[in-house]
Amino acid sequence: MGRLDAFDIGAKKLTIQTEFFSNPNWRIETKVYLAGALKKVYNEDLSATPEADLQRVVNDFHQAKMDEIVAGLRKMSPQA
């Protein structure tokens, strides 16, 4: 269970990967890579999340991190 998205940012590729881990407890990890180099890791404990909600929570967390990164990139880009 997880998600993977990749975008071209200029000449570099931005990759955002979210994975679900069940041991030692339920958790997700989102890794952000730029041009293949690991730049940031986000973790979220899901031990209190009902099993039926796991995929939705993984998707929501992944989407929130993508939105956060895109908003940051927009702030950095020159305004036309």
pLDDT tens track for 20-41: 999 999 999 999 999 999 999 9
Distance CA 76, CA 70 (A): 10
Q: Report pTM.
A: 0.83
The pLDDT of residue 34: 92
In the chain, what are the domain boundaries?
A: 2-76
> Nearest-5° angle of CA 75, CA 10, CA 42?
60
Give yes or no for residue 56 having a pLDDT over 80.
Answer: yes
Burial of 30 (0-12, 13-18, 19+ CB in 10 A): buried
The pLDDT of residue 79: 64
